Amino acid sequence: MQRKTTLYIDIDDTLIAQVLPGSGFDLRPCVITHLTALGRMYDCCWLTSWPYTDTGAGVSVATLIRSLYGSRINETFRYADWDRDHPDGKAGFVLRDDAPRDWYWLEDPIPQGERAALTTAGKLDRYIPVEPAGPWGFLDALNELFRRTSKTAADIRHAGARPEWFDRSALDSDR
């Protein structure tokens, strides 16, 4: 069986962002729907500074997703236990020797050192930047991911989703 493409996903400024100018931080539109479909299309892995389980602070990936009615996402997504002291940051994790060969990384703008590490490794094209503000940064990045991985409307439907769930104009309309 062919292994699915690995998809690394950040949380802050990727899934949760300042959606409205001057507002607090909110979940971007349709995130749970998008994550559910992504979990069927890719081998998804959280690559975030958030701990996976509660360490006493009450904040964790598992708690966040469960509280958003995404328990199935918790069952299918993996968690990257990356070295926060690595000189290349998260890029050090995606570039490690035992990393999957076929991967993409959705993340808000990365520091210059991480960008340089990806460039040196010839993997900058595997990083898909997510606009850190506004409602559509994550969705726009998903559509770029689909373009780069040649996913079609049929692939989206095969994952049990609807292509219009990934169409900004359909989601932004006043239906």
Give the CA distances from residue 46 to residues 21, 61, 150, in Å, rounded to whole numbers and listed in that order: 27, 8, 22
pLDDT in tens, 119-146: 999 999 999 999 999 999 999 999 999 9
E strand or H helix at 153, and its extent?
A: helix 153-158
Tokens representing residue 117 in the block: 């590490």
Q: Quote the DSSP letter at residue 20.
A: S
Going by their DSSP bridges, the two strands 43-46 and 6-9 should be labelled as parallel
Give the whole-number percent of the chain exceeding pLDDT 90: 75
What interhelical angle do 31-41 and 137-148 show, nearest 10? Answer: 20
pLDDT in tens, 62-99: 888 888 888 889 889 999 999 988 999 999 999 999 99
pLDDT in tens, 45-63: 999 988 888 777 678 888 8
Domains of the chain (ranges; CATH) run: 6-171 (3.40.50)
In this model, does residue 3 exceed pLDDT 90? no
Q: Outline where DSSP puts E strands in 28-90.
A: 43-46, 78-79
CA distance 157 to 173: 21
Q: How many residues does the chain have?
A: 175
**How large is the greatest C-alpha to C-alpha distance in the chain, in angstroms?**
49
In this model, does residue 174 exceed pLDDT 70? no
23-29, Cβ contacts within 8 angstroms, sequence gap of 24 or more: 27/68, 28/135, 28/136, 28/137, 28/138, 28/139, 29/135, 29/136, 29/139, 29/171
CA distance 7 to 44: 5
